[in-house]
Structure 1
Amino acid sequence: MPMFYVAHHETKRPLPVTEQVLQQARDCGYDMLTAPITTPHFHASVLTLLTAYSQAHGEGPPNDDLPLPLIPALRPVDTPLTPSDSAAQTVAVTSPWIDLASPDPLIAHLSRQVFNLEIAYAAFCGVINVVVQGPRLYNGAKSSGGVSQYARAIKEALSLGGYLQLHITTPMGDVSESVIEEDMGNLARFARDEYNHTSRSQQITRLDLFASWDAWNLIRSVCRYNQRLCVSLTLPRRLPPIAVQSRWYSEPLRFICIPSSSFLVNARGSFVLSKPHQLYISRCMRLRTAPWIMLVDVGPIPGINDPDLIMQYSSGHLSPGVAADASSGSRSPTPAESAQMPRNQSRKSKADPTPHLSYIRYLQRNQPPKTTIERFGGGFQDYLQAPLQPLTDNLESITYEVFEKDPVKYDWYERAIAQALRDWTEQEKSTSSANGAVVIAVVGSGRGPLVTRAIQASQDAGVQVEVYAVEKNPNAYVLLQRHNEEDWGGLVTVVKTDMRAWKGPLLPDGTHGRVDILVSELLGSFADNELSPECLDGVQHVLNPEHGISIPTSYTAHLTPISAPRIHADLVNRSSSDSHVFDTPFVVMLQQIDYLSTQEFDYGPSDTSAVASSKQQPKVEAPLLPDVQIAWAFKHPCHPSVLAQSNLRRGGSASGGGGGATGGDGANEHNVRFSSTIFQCAGRGVCHGIAGFFETVLYAGAEGSVELSTNPVTMEEKSKDMISWFPILFPLKTPIYVPEHAELEISMWRQTDDRKVWYEWMVEAFLTLSGSRVRLGASELHSSRMNGCLM
């Protein structure tokens, strides 16, 4: 079960965070405490400096020739922090009263000085995690433009401390939801009128669900996706539409901040979270790097002013009824309503000194169990792996073992073989053996799981078979022979050779016969990326030309654009030592991503007043399904005329044409593919790459089709819980920003020079303006030719 690490945050913490305070918090059940870097005394000294500067220069127009005020170095009275062992267990918080994005250069100058002083001192004290107030976006249009100077300040701060992890606090939804009356001492209140051209009241009526994400995107882009820069996401009382939730889910979350105002009160007077909140937290807690939870302003640490009070660990043992989701939509009571609550409820709330924490612990204990795919893929989420080279490398036994753990794939293969055998006898087809048995060849048989399934399928169907196991790996060949002696009863003929060089079953007269059913598991994450077409073309000469069946009989490659900032940050980090990292397709268990093109999208109400006046109860939205489109398809057996032309080109004869377009004789050009697909993107976002999937028809007969799929749209229906294949990722070196209602056009090539197969890809963004389709940007033409799959 996921472990919840919970921090306690007070926006105005009254006492310094000492070792005793930390111990008291741990006794109460908290894992971390936040601590301000500077004190109210320092705040007052900055305000005094600002006031003195303003009085000295009068109320006339700003004089840019005069020096701006300088803040002196910190003194002991200015900060509660000291270098100590507890500093590493403390989450430092920069001053929320500064405004790094202020349009007023005076306020921005003072804010940068305060910020740099705090960051440098926190790094000196050994603090690791620092929470930074996000940029203010509601002080007018010009202030929104100040996000760029905010981003520059963050980039500078990352260079001040080599180990600091900066967490930018940002609201999940519309920025107007975070607008509160500023503290009287907030520097933003002192911005001069000549720099505030747009009133705040005009700005907060505009609903922009992606405004805070847009600001974050600029900040992390300026910081070049620094892996020490994360998000501290504040959950509002009413979550925004699922599309906005998914976007933030894909970002590098370090804290999920839950203010006291986001809690509801159920009929029993207990603090609870709505069902959408519960599901979002549960989803985030399954990430490979799960975020921490920060409870904001839920009350002081119990007993903090009484050192003699011994607190028990907060068990949070609530009954399901007490902790039930507040689907009734009940809100927190007003002071008047609270006074009228029954006394027994008041006693109940007093019985638990940390009710909000207890509820979070209750959620922790009641997380749903992991799915089959989650259990299998634990630790592999968003972990980049180079695709296999099955023709040039001999795989290790452990690699085969991983594939063989799949609970679905081999069952489906067995069903397909059994169905093919039943159809064979019902249709009274002739066989390629002298005794009437159907000849089955498992090519690329590995350690033999498909051989076992073929034998079992023949028994289930009641059809006599002859089975051949063809494998080039000399180490697997030894194991296949042992299986034949100990498990298969000598029923299998084991052949050690590359399937393309195999001449077919050896007959008593010394000639070679044919195969009726050719079984293989050569598919990769993009269907054809492990050279299944080339391998099956090379062995097709042994297949019965009249009735021969290939399992699989066809497969299609599918793709969709994705936003994957954490994976992109990993690639940026790798690029310093590998210049071809962005030209490599990676096999990866995609988890912390967002689909840019979905089958439906809802922006929600058109203004904030509609949100505020809505009487509807919080509802749980179903995850949006991506728009996944077909890139190309392959069918087997291939038409004989295609292979005849391929053989004609092989060797470079004059009748074979002028050679391949990308090198070689062109003997493999029938397996070249190209696709151009267009995706509609309703919401704004950033494209970091292309996710690839596949679907395959193992066999289609009288009883229907037996199919496998990794396509997220169809996998539940066709092959639920299949774990053998992770998706493939085609990364982009330079991410493409996608505005609302834009189109992404993906061009994809499968290329060959008769020695290797590789992919090329590029993405273009378009927007229709005044009836014209305008190109907004395009990626490089990426090519994996340098590390293509060798034939």
Structure 2
Amino acid sequence: MDSPTMDATMPIFYIGQHETARSLAVSDELVHHAQDRGYDMVTSPITTPHFHTRVLSLLSSYIQAVSDASPPNSAQPYPLVSAFESVDTSLHPSDTISQLVTFTSPWIDLASPDPVIAHLSRQVFSLEIAYAAFCGVVTVVVPGPRLSHGPSSLAQYARAIKEALALGSYLQLHVQLPMDGSKATDEEDDVGDLARFASSEYTSERQNQGGHQDPWSAWEAWDVIRSICRYHSRLSIALDLPRRLPSLSLQARWFSEPLRLLNLPASSFLINPRGSFVLSKPHQLFIFRCMRLKSAPWLLLTDVGAIPGLNDPDAIMDYPTTLSPSVAADAPTPPSSTFSSPTPAEASQIMKSAGKKSSKDDPTPHLSYLRYLQRNQPPKSTIERFVGGFQDYLQSPLQPLTDNLESITYEVFEKDPIKYAWYERAIAQALRHWVDQGKSTSSEDGAVVIAVVGSGRGPLVTRALNASDATGVPVKVYAVEKNPNAYVLLRRHNEEDWGGLVTVVKTDMRAWKGPTRSDGTFGKVDILVSELLGSFADNELSPECLDGVQHVLNPDHGISIPASYTAHITPISTPRIHADLLARSHTADPNAFDIPWVVMLHQFDYLSAHPLPDSSQAPPSTKLNQSKLDPPLAPHIQMVWHFSHPLPPTILAQSSLRRGGSAVGGGGGFTGGDGANEHNARHCKLTFPIPEQGICHGLAGYFETVLYTMEEGSVELSTNPVTMEAKSKDMISWFPIFFPLRSPLHLPADSVVEISMWRMTDDRKVWYEWLVESFLVVEGRRIRLGASDLHSSRGNGCLM
């Protein structure tokens, strides 16, 4: 595992210019001209109006032939579109072809219920995709399915997309969809739209559906498309942002999907009192959040005006490269999306009040505003700066008991600005508490005996010595480490940094007999300090390790730091990670879906969330997505199980009886072996409400731990998004854990999810098993909708 860099550079906005009815052919000269004016790319249709006219003429001839047929309604061959002619397309191979974002024809209807229109559309689409691939095009935007057709025709559209992916081996296909489902692609303002020629027998049902569109309809269509295409790595979304953004839950769902383009039509912009084109605060927050993705989407400015200076390419243009905060002041969120732009009277009044400082002085005001936003992005948090390229990067959990970690791995953890400070605070509190209560010590000279077990490179040893200096309580410190390479470094630290005050012991902590006394016997430890927790708290066998070393702890008043820890889960949607695992399972790792992965979750959505009345309580991962119109959302995260240390002696005594398989130890373990570790097995069953429809790709796991507690309060660490800001803000040592589902589970709105999890163990290893079920309550009756496989990580369990 490489060390994450602390790169604080902000994301760059790659901005393109798009005209839905571009009048000029996109030549190399036009591309260079657009780049001179500040755009990074331009868009181009694949075919020309001439081709459109030719297809319409072909359809007209077919309709006439059908009407003239004798006998009436006799079978006629479907119209056949011939190959492209030179006048049918202005696209050709060139040096700038990779800098174009190409669009397939918006006037076709791949999901048409009319078989003639569908067949004709499919021919046009195939011709365009094949020719674009021949020319070397990389990026193709495909208008999404017409949502008014309903879900019945989506499979037909998805099948065409799947064929196109196979036809162009290097093409990146982006399905263009409206964010809120309202600006559907079936408006049919163009008289040449093929959908207008569909037979009435296929459109009557559609006409009866009315004009209302479910805001989630576009996402539901996308889910069908990408599922049929098996989460293809070259299939993503071009998302149209409306004038008013939909609910936060729908925004969060789109954020979790593979966004490649954000389309900003002119109607998305508002005009502030100074006459400048600006975006509302919710738009800004959504864009800022998307730009933090590992693969940030490009931005398209649509129909905001032609590229200036086209008639005079040599003209020297004087336009501002920066905007002052007063000119680019945030616009209020529009109260209604009824009007896509101000009325002429309103626009005239705004321009008069703006005076000479209006956007008239800038030939590309929308572009300048986006560059302003780029320069004024919110600063990166400590966690964002640290994780760098680790967003959504799957890592196998560490196995410190069987593997000797490398120095660079320890170094990554030691960069944490919070964890070791909190450990020092906990040790200091324990020492003060020890003195205040007048406890006796386990040493011969009255010093408190501290053992740091699993010392690694020694950061906790340093913190224990610091706590002693801060409290004035004398200590004897033992550093116990089995890694022979880390042992060498610990010895060096003791000589050069710790002044020989530490006793370094090379052994597995479970085999250590305790501090050696002057008479050759072994003493006890007063405070046992460890950092054995993994992303799920217990997944790196902290319970087993601390059970094994508890015999050295003072049985009367010995302290364990940490004192307890709990694991937590919640169901999530994460298409990106599912696609990654799907690819792995077909190639390098067929068991990829049976491994709990350590991953810095980023592009995902909580399926079970609830609104918070106070935005200050929102988890940090959701704050960039808050709107003044909607209450912030917080994930519903539940505790799975709990471990505490030291264990009651009776539990360890029973474990000792079972070890070795003696008759007095019982009949043996449930999963094989003698069952000596079964006191560390766990099981839970949890229920989560699902307010909006979604796809469950797996479970996100977190943990909380109490290092030390006393009357004044506890010292705690947390990776739980709900509590980490209050307990250990900016802690970076642990990424979440992800339990994947081989087959994603479809969840309707207002359903419930039941999660069953097991922590299993035998004599050799520990593993997890998990199962997800979905239910819907209808008139008081619970209906089972589906269930995942029973996943098991036994084949990749953590060895003891």
* 1:173-227 deviation digits (Å, cap 9, x = unpaired): 1335666452110111111110013344743224x12110000000000000001
Rounded to whole Å, the distance in 2 between the matches of 1:339 and 1:465 is 79
1:32 to 41, 47, 64: 41
User: Counterpart of 1:609?
Assistant: none
Rounded to whole Å, the distance in 1 between the matches of 2:407 and 2:763 is 29
CA-atom RMSD in angstroms? 1.8
Gaps of 5+ in 1: 603-616
Q: SS state of the match for residue 416, structure 2?
A: coil
User: Counterpart of 1:688?
Assistant: 697
Amino acid at match of 2:242: P
2:169 to 136, 141, 162: 162
Answer yes or no: is the 8 Å Cα contact 2:110–2:156 preserved in 1. Answer: yes
Amino acid at match of 2:700: A
Rounded to whole Å, the distance in 1 between the matches of 2:333 and 2:686 is 45
User: Counterpart of 2:122?
Assistant: 112
2:210 to 203, 207, 218: 203
Rounded to whole Å, the distance in 2 between the matches of 1:62 and 1:96 is 33
2:412 to 380, 402, 422: 402
Q: SS state of the match for residue 610, structure 2?
A: coil
In the TM superposition, what is the alpha-carbon distance from 1:344 to its structure 2 partner?
6.2
Rounded to whole Å, the distance in 2 between the matches of 1:201 and 1:774 is 31
Answer yes or no: is the 8 Å Cα contact 1:588–1:726 preserved in 2. Answer: yes
Answer yes or no: is the 8 Å Cα contact 2:775–2:786 preserved in 1. Answer: yes
Q: What pairs up with 1:607-756 in 2 under 5 angstroms?
A: 619=628, 621=630, 623-756=632-765
Rounded to whole Å, the distance in 1 between the matches of 2:355 and 2:365 is 12
* 1:682-736 deviation digits (Å, cap 9, x = unpaired): 1000000000000000001132100000000000000000000000000001000
Asked if 1:236 corresponds to 2:247, the answer is: no
Rounded to whole Å, the distance in 2 between the matches of 1:176 and 1:262 is 12
Q: 1:450 to 1:63 in 2, by over 3 A?
A: farther
Q: SS state of the match for residue 65, structure 1?
A: coil
Amino acid at match of 1:81: L
Q: SS state of the match for residue 60, structure 2?
A: helix
User: Counterpart of 2:366?
Assistant: 356
Q: What pairs up with 1:556-595 in 2 under 5 angstroms?
A: 556-577=566-587, 578-595=589-606
User: Counterpart of 2:296?
Assistant: 290
In the TM superposition, what is the alpha-carbon distance from 1:622 to its structure 2 partner?
5.3
Amino acid at match of 2:751: A
In the TM superposition, what is the alpha-carbon distance from 1:434 to its structure 2 partner?
1.4
Q: What pairs up with 1:138-153 in 2 under 5 angstroms?
A: 138-139=148-149, 141=150, 144-153=151-160
Amino acid at match of 2:417: P
Rounded to whole Å, the distance in 2 between the matches of 1:19 and 1:114 is 26
Answer yes or no: is the 8 Å Cα contact 2:280–2:333 preserved in 1. Answer: no
* 1:540-577 deviation digits (Å, cap 9, x = unpaired): 00000000000000000000000000110111111112
Rounded to whole Å, the distance in 1 between the matches of 2:512 and 2:579 is 46
Q: 1:744 to 1:343 in 2, by over 3 A?
A: closer
1:439 to 445, 449, 461: 449
User: Counterpart of 2:199?
Assistant: 192
* 1:522-545 deviation digits (Å, cap 9, x = unpaired): 000000000000000000000000
User: Counterpart of 1:130?
Assistant: 140
Answer yes or no: is the 8 Å Cα contact 2:766–2:797 preserved in 1. Answer: yes
Rounded to whole Å, the distance in 2 between the matches of 1:421 and 1:165 is 61
Asked if 1:20 corresponds to 2:34, the answer is: no
Rounded to whole Å, the distance in 2 between the matches of 1:642 and 1:171 is 59
Answer yes or no: is the 8 Å Cα contact 2:277–2:359 preserved in 1. Answer: no
User: Counterpart of 2:431?
Assistant: 421
Q: SS state of the match for residue 430, structure 2?
A: helix
User: Counterpart of 2:88?
Assistant: 78
Amino acid at match of 1:273: L
Q: 1:503 to 1:348 in 2, by over 3 A?
A: same
Q: 1:136 to 1:64 in 2, by over 3 A?
A: farther
* 1:731-785 deviation digits (Å, cap 9, x = unpaired): 0010000000011111111111110111111111111123211111111011111
* 1:54-100 deviation digits (Å, cap 9, x = unpaired): 01111899948321010000111000111111111111100000011
Q: SS state of the match for residue 441, structure 1?
A: strand
Q: 1:555 to 1:710 in 2, by over 3 A?
A: same
User: Counterpart of 1:277?
Assistant: 283
Q: What pairs up with 1:467-486 in 2 under 5 angstroms?
A: 467-486=477-496
Answer yes or no: is the 8 Å Cα contact 1:316–1:359 preserved in 2. Answer: no
User: Counterpart of 2:790?
Assistant: 781
In the TM superposition, what is the alpha-carbon distance from 1:468 to its structure 2 partner?
0.4
Answer yes or no: is the 8 Å Cα contact 1:256–1:294 preserved in 2. Answer: yes
Rounded to whole Å, the distance in 2 between the matches of 1:79 and 1:336 is 41
Rounded to whole Å, the distance in 2 between the matches of 1:40 and 1:133 is 17
Asked if 1:494 corresponds to 2:504, the answer is: yes
* 1:9-63 deviation digits (Å, cap 9, x = unpaired): 1001111111100011001100011100000000000000001100111189994
1:554 to 564, 571, 586: 564
Gaps of 5+ in 2: 1-9, 614-625
In the TM superposition, what is the alpha-carbon distance from 1:242 to its structure 2 partner?
0.4
User: Counterpart of 2:331?
Assistant: 326
Answer yes or no: is the 8 Å Cα contact 2:66–2:74 preserved in 1. Answer: no
Answer yes or no: is the 8 Å Cα contact 2:15–2:299 preserved in 1. Answer: yes
Asked if 1:457 corresponds to 2:467, the answer is: yes
Asked if 1:246 corresponds to 2:252, the answer is: yes
Q: 1:618 to 1:400 in 2, by over 3 A?
A: closer
Q: SS state of the match for residue 162, structure 1?
A: coil
Q: What pairs up with 1:588-603 in 2 under 5 angstroms?
A: 588-600=599-611
Rounded to whole Å, the distance in 2 between the matches of 1:175 and 1:517 is 63
Rounded to whole Å, the distance in 2 between the matches of 1:328 and 1:598 is 24
Q: SS state of the match for residue 377, structure 2?
A: coil
User: Counterpart of 2:230?
Assistant: 224
Amino acid at match of 2:143: Q
User: Counterpart of 2:78?
Assistant: 68
Aligned length: 772
Q: SS state of the match for residue 367, structure 2?
A: helix
Rounded to whole Å, the distance in 2 between the matches of 1:177 and 1:193 is 21
Amino acid at match of 2:666: G
Rounded to whole Å, the distance in 2 between the matches of 1:59 and 1:674 is 73
Asked if 1:338 corresponds to 2:344, the answer is: no
Give me the TM-score of the superposition, normalised by structure 2.
0.94
In the TM superposition, what is the alpha-carbon distance from 1:338 to its structure 2 partner?
3.3
Q: SS state of the match for residue 378, structure 1?
A: helix
Asked if 1:96 corresponds to 2:101, the answer is: no
In the TM superposition, what is the alpha-carbon distance from 1:329 to its structure 2 partner?
3.9
Rounded to whole Å, the distance in 1 between the matches of 2:499 and 2:510 is 27
Q: SS state of the match for residue 538, structure 2?
A: coil
Q: SS state of the match for residue 485, structure 1?
A: helix
Q: SS state of the match for residue 119, structure 1?
A: helix
In the TM superposition, what is the alpha-carbon distance from 1:311 to its structure 2 partner?
4.2
Q: SS state of the match for residue 96, structure 2?
A: helix
Rounded to whole Å, the distance in 2 between the matches of 1:496 and 1:204 is 74
Quick one: percent identity of the two aligned structures?
A: 68
* 1:116-174 deviation digits (Å, cap 9, x = unpaired): 000000000000000000000124x4xx3111100000000000011100000001113
User: Counterpart of 1:613?
Assistant: none
Q: What pairs up with 1:355-374 in 2 under 5 angstroms?
A: 355-374=365-384
Answer yes or no: is the 8 Å Cα contact 2:47–2:128 preserved in 1. Answer: yes
In the TM superposition, what is the alpha-carbon distance from 1:303 to its structure 2 partner?
1.1
2:272 to 266, 273, 293: 266
Rounded to whole Å, the distance in 2 between the matches of 1:298 and 1:440 is 69
